[in-house]
Structure 1
Amino acid sequence: MVKEITTEELQKKLENGESLHLIDVRENEEVAEGIIPGAVHIPMGEIPQKMDQLDTDKEYIFICRSGRRSENVCFFLEDHGYQARNMVGGMLEWNGEVKR
């Protein structure tokens, strides 16, 4: 089972100034509608080619529209030795700040 974080938990961590590694795996047109400030955009399909840019010592929080794609990315990366956490509910449930 993949580790999870709720949108509320993530918002609190950001408000507390915690240093987090957020990766948004949505497609370009979805991200154009708004992304959590500080998140890095890597579309889901590019994750396998960009894994070498990630550090196995860091935990990454993955974000998508509803939480399904990011969950799949978490399963994939955990199988390759990475620390991944899925933001459940995705951007559909995100009430925090977004930048466009």
Structure 2
Amino acid sequence: MMSFSNIDVAGLLELQNSGGVRLVDVRTDAEVSRGVIPGAIHIPLHLIPLTEMDWNIPTVIYCQSGGRSGQACSFLSAKGWNGLSNLQGGILAWVASGNALSRLA
């Protein structure tokens, strides 16, 4: 059973403005080197199962277009975590909406 939601760029911007969301980029190192959504942390998709983190904090997961982040949300929700959202269209939708990228800190 799917217990995560899909969110669009406008919804993500609202969450970021409220300050109550964690943003996780599950793309590869090479993809991340080209830029991330500001405020994101990087956890490659293959490391999600090994990551010791409280996933019950409201979290938006994204990738290039939404496929891999959907897999991560499915995996984590199957493990019982709540408060997860998949960014529809991924970073491509973010850029297409005119939003800037940043570099990882």
Pairwise TM-score range, normalised by the shorter structure: 0.7 to 0.9
Question: 1:39 & 1:97 partners in 2: Cα distance?
Answer: 13
* Residue 11 (structure 2) aligns with: 9
Give TM-score, length-normalised by structure 2: 0.84
CA distance in structure 2 between the aligned counterparts of 1:65 and 1:8, rounded to whole angstroms: 17
| Runs of 4+, deviation exceeding 4 Å | none
Q: Which runs of 5+ in 1 are unaligned?
A: none
Q: Secondary structure at the match of 1:76?
A: helix
Q: Is the 8 A contact 1:56 1:81 kept in 2?
A: no
1:68 to 2:67 alignment: yes
Displacement of 1:97 after TM fit? 2.4
Root-mean-square deviation (Å): 1.4
Q: Deviation of residue 18 (structure 1)?
A: 1.9
Q: Counterparts of 1:1-100 in structure 2 under 5 Å?
A: 1=2, 2-14=4-16, 16-50=17-51, 52=52, 54-83=53-82, 84-95=84-95, 96-100=99-103
Question: 2 CA distance for matches of 1:17 and 1:59?
Answer: 12
- Quote how far apart the aligned CAs of 1:7 are: 1.2
Contact 1:59 1:82 in 2 (8 A): no
Q: Distance in 2 between matches of 1:28 and 1:56?
A: 22
CA gap 1:97/1:12 in 2 versus in 1, 3 angstroms? farther
TM-score relative to the length of structure 1: 0.88
